[in-house]
Every structure is written in structure tokens, then in C-alpha cells.
């Protein structure tokens, strides 16, 4: 049975000055889906995520969440339901890793702002799952880019969101951490029904983890649909202007993309 529609964007347009970054974007996001937002640099992926999570207001059009306009919810309701892992996250203040991950619980804390045993358990579990427990007492500004990215992901997971937005959230990670964290996110998606909306550049990872793909090109939806339908050579060639071959792997049964550039 098809899951309920959780979010909708209706004819979104967004201009930065006179530059259109999103044009006539209408989408439906179903509860519990794992959505990949794909497209070339500058195609509008970050802008779309920012509008969907309420950080940016569209120039026209609407975002609906559970059938109600996003703007009609208060900040607390949004903070308890949406978590965002941005592309670049600069923390310049020397907070410890534990303090940063604890910030993820802030929208859930009572009026006194004191974390309960349950809050602490969630924070420690998220640090462990993201492989940053050993750094709990370290100052975040002293960590590498990939380690910091894992801390920010742990903080987002500590928010226990209904929707997790990832904007190239694994771009700084080595291949092993990338797979581990995407597997962790996939488990949260499959077991706890967290809806995931992820801008991804790596098409092989997108093919592996997303059940639905939204391709953007120059701010417009160029193609969207289930991965089994739209993860194909024609669409990728049209959107990215690259020659590729997609083959089903004999052992894993998954689809892998090989680049076929003419190197002459």
C-alpha cells in the first residue's frame, strides 16, 4: 500500500535577486521514503532543501507538511520534527563533541532545559552509531573535516527527527565511514520510518540507498520517480551530459554505474 503524503511542494519558485534558483517545483514526499535529490552543481539542490525545511521562504508557491502550510507551524514543532545536516557547517566556538551532539536534544528538553537520562542515552547512542564516542570530550574545532561531519550527523540523529535532510552530508567521509553512515541512515529509515531527503553527488551511492530520485536541472525538476525506473543511462546523460553505462551486478543484484567518457 502506498504511504501517506507527508510533504508537498506546490509550484515553488525561488529567486536570488533576479536569478531563478527554483522554477515551478511541485513534488510529493511520502512518509518513510528515502529520496535522493540529484543534479549538477548549481541546479538548486541546496536551495530546495532549504525551502523544504523552512530555512528559506520561496518567492512564490507553498510547502505543505501534513497538509498544512509550513509557515503555520511554530519553530519548536519544526525543530522537533526536521533535522538538517548541511553541506558546510562551521562551528568556530570550542564546544566539546558531547556538547554539540547534546544540542540536538534541545528542542525536546523541558522548560528547565535539563537533559533526562533518556536524553543522555539517545545522545550517547547517536555518538556511538556515528563513530564519535571516543571524541566525546574533544573540542570540535580540533577535529578533521570528516570527523566534524560525523559529529554534525550525530547531532541531527539526536534530534530524533521525523524527516532527516542531508545536503551532501557524507561528502568528506572516507569510503568506509560513508557506507557505514549511509547504512545507519537506511536502517533508521527502514526500521523507524524516518523520511530521508538527501542531496547526493555520488550516483552509485544514490542508486544503492534511495528508493526515489528527484533530478534537478537549472532549478527545474528534470525527472522524478522510483529508482528502479529513473536510475538509467538516458536520464543521467540528459541531466549531467555524461555517457554512462548502468549494469546489474552479478553478485549484489544492485545497479552500478560506470563512466564512459571519451578520453581522447
**Distance between CA atoms of 134 and 54, rounded to whole angstroms?**
34
Q: Is 203 exposed, middle or buried (0-12, 13-18, 19+ CB in 10 A)?
A: buried
Give all strands of the β-sheet with 60-65 in edge-to-edge order.
19-30, 5-16, 60-65, 68-69
Whole-number Cα distances in Å, 183 to 3, 129, 170: 22, 11, 12
Of residues 42 and 94, the one with the C-beta less far from ligand ATP? 42
Q: Which of 6, 12, 21, 166 binds ligand ATP (CB under 6 A)?
A: 21
Of residues 95 and 240, the one with the C-beta less far from ligand ATP? 240
Binding of ligand ATP by 104 (CB under 6 A): no
Of residues 17 and 113, the one with the C-beta less far from ligand ATP? 17
**Distance between CA atoms of 75 and 68, rounded to whole angstroms?**
14
Q: Which of 2, 19, 72, 251 binds ligand ATP (CB under 6 A)?
A: 19
Q: Where are the beta strands (DSSP E) in 66-135?
A: 68-69, 82-85
Of residues 17 and 137, the one with the C-beta less far from ligand ATP? 17
Q: Which of 16, 77, 238, 243 binds ligand ATP (CB under 6 A)?
A: 16
Q: Output the smallest distance, CB 43 to ligand ATP, in A.
A: 4
Other residues' Cβ atoms within 10 Å of the Cβ of residue 124: 16
Q: Output the smallest distance, CB 59 to ligand ATP, in A.
A: 12
Q: Is 5 exposed, middle or buried (0-12, 13-18, 19+ CB in 10 A)?
A: middle
Of residues 147 and 168, the one with the C-beta less far from ligand ATP? 168
Q: Output the smallest distance, CB 45 to ligand ATP, in A.
A: 4
x/- site string to ligand ATP, residues 43 to 82, per CB under 6 A? xxxxx-----------------------------------
**Distance between CA atoms of 147 and 175, rounded to whole angstroms?**
13
* Interface with ligand ATP: number of residues (CB under 6 A): 11
Of residues 80 and 220, the one with the C-beta less far from ligand ATP? 220
**Bridge-partner residues for 247, per DSSP?**
256
Binding of ligand ATP by 241 (CB under 6 A): no
Q: Output the smallest distance, CB 187 to ligand ATP, in A.
A: 26
Owner of C-alpha cell 555517457: 243
**Distance between CA atoms of 234 and 218, rounded to whole angstroms?**
18
Of residues 24 and 133, the one with the C-beta less far from ligand ATP? 24
Whole-number Cα distances in Å, 247 to 19, 196, 244: 38, 26, 10
Question: Which stretches of the chain bind ligand ATP, using CB under 6 A?
Answer: 16, 19, 21, 39, 41-47
Amino acid at each position: 500500500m502506498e504511504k501517506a503524503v507527508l510533504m508537498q511542494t506546490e509550484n515553488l519558485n525561488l529567486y536570488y535577486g533576479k536569478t531563478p534558483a527554483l522554477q515551478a517545483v511541485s513534488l510529493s514526499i511520502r512518509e518513510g521514503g528515502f529520496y535522493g535529490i540529484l543534479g549538477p552543481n548549481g541546479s538548486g539542490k541546496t536551495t530546495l532543501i532549504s525551502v523544504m525545511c523552512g530555512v528559506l521562504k520561496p518567492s512564490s508557491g507553498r510547502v505543505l507538511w501534513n497538509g498544512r502550510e509550513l509557515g503555520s507551524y511554530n519553530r519548536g514543532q519544526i525543530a522537533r520534527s526536521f533535522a538538517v545536516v548541511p553541506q558546510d557547517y562551521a562551528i568556530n566556538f570550542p564546544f566539546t563533541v558531547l556538547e554539540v551532539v547534546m544540542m540536538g536534544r534541545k528542542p525536546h528538553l523541558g522548560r528547565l532545559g535539563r537533559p533526562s537520562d533518556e536524553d543522555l542515552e539517545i545522545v550517547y547512542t547517536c555518538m556511538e552509531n556515528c563513530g564519535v564516542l571516543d571524541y566525546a570530550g574533544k573540542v570540535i574545532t580540533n577535529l578533521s573535516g570528516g570527523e566534524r561531519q560525523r559529529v554534525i550527523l550525530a547531532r541531527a540523529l539526536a534530534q530524533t527527527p521525523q524527516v532527516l535532510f542531508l545536503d551532501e552530508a557524507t561528502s568528506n567521509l572516507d569510503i568506509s565511514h560513508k557506507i557505514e553512515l549511509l547504512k545507519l541512515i537506511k536502517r533508521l529509515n527502514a526500521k523507524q520510518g524516518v523520511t530521508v531527503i538527501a542531496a547526493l553527488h555520488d550516483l552509485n551511492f544514490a542508486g544503492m540507498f534511495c528508493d526515489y530520485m528527484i533530478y534537478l536541472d537549472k532549478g527545474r525538476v528534470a525527472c522524478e520517480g522510483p529508482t528502479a525506473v529513473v536510475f538509467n543511462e538516458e536520464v543521467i546523460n540528459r541531466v549531467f551530459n555524461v555517457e554512462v553505462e548502468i549494469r546489474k551486478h552479478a553478485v549484489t543484484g544492485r545497479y552500478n554505474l560506470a563512466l564512459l567518457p571519451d578520453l581522447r
